[in-house]
Amino acid sequence: MLYSIDCTTNILNPGDEKTKISYIKASYEVAVSTGNTFWIGQVFKTYETFDLLKVSLYCMRHGTPGTLTLELKALDGDGKPTGDALFSETCNVDSYQSSYYEWNEIKVTRYTLSANTSYAFLIQTSSDVIGNYLGCASSMGVKATYADGYLVSYEKIGPGWTKETSYDLFFDLIGVEVGRCPTYKTIDCDLHINVNINYYGISIPCDLYILTSLADACTSWEQSIRLLVTINSVDVTSALIGNINITHNKNIASTFSLSLGDSQYSPHINSNIGLSKEVVITAYINGYEKKLITGIIDDINMSYSPDINININGMDYSKKLLEKRDTLISVQDETDNSLRNEIIEYIAEQAEITNVDIPEMDTVDIDNSFSDQTIWDMIQKEALINLYWVRFNEEGVMQLKLDEIKSSTGTYPTVDWTYEEDRVFILGLRKNESEIINKIIVLGAIYEKRIPTTIVGESVELLNWTKTWGEDPYGTDSVAGTYTSGDFTMTITVVGASSRGIQYSLRITWVGGDYEITDCSAGGDSILIISRSIRKTRVLIGFSRGSLTWQGPTVAGSISIFLQGKGRDTTEWDVQYNQISAQITDPSSITKHKERDGGSIELPLIETQEQCIEIGKKIIRDSHRGLAQPNFEVPLNPLLETGQTVEITDKKIGFSAERWYVESVTHNIETEPARGRTQVGCVYYAST
């Protein structure tokens, strides 16, 4: 959990670092570099006023570039950097990764950027040795799609600043609201936190008092809270009546309900109170901020009885995934690298969900297509293959969480939450083994395999043709001409004459099937074959310039052609289909509960037998949930989440340091006075 230090009172205060401006693509096309004689930078535009804390670049070190200088400048009328630097920061980059590109943050002494203003951040490294430079990833040409800026460059010996409008650097600008203090993920025992330019925060003691005090507050029955509820960014907290209910369930859309008692928020007259408007509910405990839900209204019910009561119900941003149905064909082709996380991001975009936090997954090697399904179902199926479950966190970000039970005390020696005596009130305990299965077959993708079979062509007589001519004392009977026999055409042409007679050339072609010539002969009466050749091709067989000579102009004669051959070999394909599959059993469960066959389940996105096995284990494990499912109530704990573990030690209700896995969390909050409780639904297998 992230916290920040109040600049004036030295206590934790709401306000986290956020990415304010970002340009990132799935892969880079061009890497531009910077060295001692060369500056590069990126023009960008702000849309809000904020304090800049960090600039993050996707880069890689070559050699030892030395010290990097980062500057911010204003732009002249031509959109080029101008004037003195608005700030200048330095850091050593010789420790940056040299084998691959990665994100590196450059810290900035807090600087306020004005809204609706264009700036340029610029970088240069100190080394003047060729080969020592920092490569920064960018996109180019039609792929350079950052609309509010472009790359700029400067050479010491050159024309000055140049606008490279066909390039964009990959970058993140990270900041906070003006006046807010930065967030720090880790707190060392002797760390002094620099919270603004001229002020240094308190030293954090080794017992991390500030962090533990929040945990203490979240487990206290007497702890009061302060609520902030906004609808469409309008603060409606003062109009709250009754109770607020917020429910988070593992792998199910979170829901909320609240009531307003002020007629100014009637949906008839107030455009901010309407379907699909965003609701944010935030709790403050002793100065700590924790969002409870960010969601969307999907139902409004107003009544007068006699006081006005505007009941508002909604769910988190899963609503968009659930309401959008679509048919998506070959989704993997729409991504850069066919990674499953890229596929999930693309699917989410179809429901206008772009704020995601998804770990990198494996490459997809099969076709992923969906027909008339909800976006929610598509994402669930993709996530299951790598054993992830889907949630929208309290900030409205879609996350994928690894479905790990944290049952190993070796891997997870510490539970997330501990409740001791008098901190919990048990509401119920359910035990049921009717849903248990301990044997299942998991079926995955079906692979097509084509097996070839060669069919040998049959041997046949292709041509048996004879041309005769009579005695011609005057030389008027010409042999030249075109003759046909079946599919074959014989063309005889005169190619010359000599004292021995007229020379002819014979050419044979055919139409129809393909043949392989196995035997051929040519002969005749009263002729002399000067040369011949046979071309065994599919379009031509003949006597290539084969010349025939008469013995005399008055002598009768003939020519005969014989061709023997067979049809070409053909290939027939036998298609076989093999399906990825695995049978999974739980021997210990079979011993205890006897064999309970769950039949088979088909998941066409599974590509390997290993995936079948892991998913089968998960299905069997989840089927044992009913063996022990307690529900208990604790003081309002905004930090308690599904997927965490809880250890309860309370002898009065029969718990002795037992670890439970949290599957549901429901916050019930009274608005007057602002107090609340958290109801927790757990399952037993965190302790197995």
Q: Do 388 and 467 fall into the same domain?
A: no
In the prediction, which pLDDT does 206 show?
A: 28
Q: Do 365 and 513 fall into the same domain?
A: no
Q: Do 167 and 24 fall into the same domain?
A: yes
In a domain, 165, yes or no: yes
Residue 572 has pLDDT above 70, yes or no: yes
CB-based contact 298:330 (threshold 8 Å) = no
Please write down the HEC assignment for all residues of 23-82.
ECCCCCCEEEEEECCEEEEEEEECCCCEEEEEEEEEEEEECCCCEEEEEEEEECCCCCEE
In the prediction, which pLDDT does 10 show?
A: 30
How far from 136 is each of 42, 57, 91, 176, 277, CA to CA, in Å? 11, 7, 16, 25, 40
Edge-first strand order for the sheet with 515-525 is: 459-469, 557-567, 515-525
Residue 398 has pLDDT above 90, yes or no: yes
What are 586-614's pLDDT values in tens digits? 999 999 889 999 999 999 999 999 999 99
Residue 314 has pLDDT above 50, yes or no: yes
pTM of the complete model = 0.55
pLDDT band at 199 (very low <50, low <70, confident <90, very high): very low
- Mean pLDDT throughout 496-521? 71
Looking at per-residue pLDDT, the higher value among 51 and 560 belongs to: 51
108: domain CATH number is 2.60.120
What are 110-150's pLDDT values in tens digits? 899 999 999 999 999 998 888 888 989 888 876 678 889 99
In the prediction, which pLDDT does 622 show?
A: 87
Which residue segment(s) compose the domain that 348 sits in? 320-395
Residue 546 has pLDDT above 70, yes or no: no
CA–CA dist 34, 47 (Å, integer): 28
> Which among 413, 415, 410, 389 is positioned nearest to 401, based on CA atoms?
389
Edge-first strand order for the sheet with 540-550 is: 481-485, 488-498, 501-510, 540-550, 527-529
In a domain, 90, yes or no: yes
Q: Do 473 and 376 fall into the same domain?
A: no
What are 351-371's pLDDT values in tens digits? 999 999 999 999 998 889 999
For residue 594, give every residue at least 6 positions away whose Cβ sits within 8 Å of its Cβ, in sequence order, or none: none
Q: Do 23 and 160 fall into the same domain?
A: yes
Helix or strand holding residue 375 (H, E): helix 375-385
Q: What dihedral do alpha carbons 221, 223, 229, 235 form, nearest 10°?
A: 150
CA–CA dist 444, 23 (Å, integer): 38
What are 403-436's pLDDT values in tens digits? 887 766 777 788 888 887 777 776 677 888 888 9
In a domain, 424, yes or no: no
> Quick one: 329 exposed, middle or buried, by C-beta within 10 A (0-12, 13-18, 19+)?
exposed
- In the Cβ-directed half-sphere of 633, how many Cα atoms lie within 13 Å? 9
In a domain, 283, yes or no: no
Angle between helix 375-385 and helix 340-349 axes, rounded to 10 deg: 170
In the prediction, which pLDDT does 20 show?
A: 86
Looking at per-residue pLDDT, the higher value among 124 and 521 belongs to: 124
- Mean pLDDT throughout 503-509? 76
- Mean pLDDT throughout 36-61? 90
Q: Do 385 and 496 fall into the same domain?
A: no
What are 161-186's pLDDT values in tens digits? 999 888 899 999 998 887 554 333 22
In a domain, 655, yes or no: no
- Mean pLDDT throughout 250-261? 93
Residue 187 has pLDDT above 50, yes or no: no
- In the Cβ-directed half-sphere of 642, how many Cα atoms lie within 13 Å? 27
- Mean pLDDT throughout 280-301? 87
> Quick one: 474 exposed, middle or buried, by C-beta within 10 A (0-12, 13-18, 19+)?
exposed
Looking at per-residue pLDDT, the higher value among 509 and 344 belongs to: 344
How far from 472 is each of 493, 497, 498, 527, 552, CA to CA, in Å? 18, 16, 17, 15, 9
Residue 328 has pLDDT above 90, yes or no: yes
Return mean pLDDT, the chain.
80
Q: Do 480 and 365 fall into the same domain?
A: no
In the prediction, which pLDDT does 16 show?
A: 55
Look at residues 568, 583, 611 and tell me which one is the last residue of a structural domain. Answer: 568
In a domain, 157, yes or no: yes
Three-state SS at 349: helix
CA–CA dist 99, 177 (Å, integer): 36
Number of domains in the chain: 3
- Mean pLDDT throughout 672-685? 78
pLDDT band at 490 (very low <50, low <70, confident <90, very high): confident
In a domain, 529, yes or no: yes
- Mean pLDDT throughout 58-74? 93
- Mean pLDDT throughout 505-511? 76
Q: Do 89 and 170 fall into the same domain?
A: yes
For residue 627, give every residue at least 6 positions away whose Cβ sits within 8 Å of its Cβ, in sequence order, or none: 431, 432, 433, 436, 684, 685
CB-based contact 594:550 (threshold 8 Å) = no
In the prediction, which pLDDT does 180 show?
A: 57
Of the candidate ranges 85-99, 306-320, 456-470, the one whose mean pLDDT is the lowest: 456-470
Looking at per-residue pLDDT, the higher value among 63 and 428 belongs to: 63
CB-based contact 269:229 (threshold 8 Å) = no
Look at residues 375, 395, 415 and tell me which one is the last residue of a structural domain. Answer: 395
pLDDT band at 513 (very low <50, low <70, confident <90, very high): low
Q: Do 382 and 481 fall into the same domain?
A: no
For residue 93, give every residue at least 6 positions away whose Cβ sits within 8 Å of its Cβ, in sequence order, or none: 61, 65, 66, 67, 68, 104, 125, 134
Three-state SS at 342: helix
How far from 6 is each of 9, 178, 183, 189, 199, CA to CA, in Å? 6, 13, 10, 19, 11
Q: Do 387 and 486 fall into the same domain?
A: no
CA–CA dist 473, 600 (Å, integer): 93
Q: Do 42 and 119 fall into the same domain?
A: yes
In a domain, 267, yes or no: no
Q: Do 379 and 470 fall into the same domain?
A: no
What are 657-670's pLDDT values in tens digits? 778 889 999 999 88
State both tokens at 422. Answer: 């008098």
CA–CA dist 548, 530 (Å, integer): 6
Residue 340 has pLDDT above 80, yes or no: yes
In the prediction, which pLDDT does 207 show?
A: 31
- Mean pLDDT throughout 522-545? 50
One-letter amino acid identity for 508?
I
**DSSP for residue 363:** B
Peptide bond before residue 452 is cis, with ω within 30 degrees of 0: no
Look at residues 123, 143, 176 and tell me which one is the last residue of a structural domain. Answer: 176
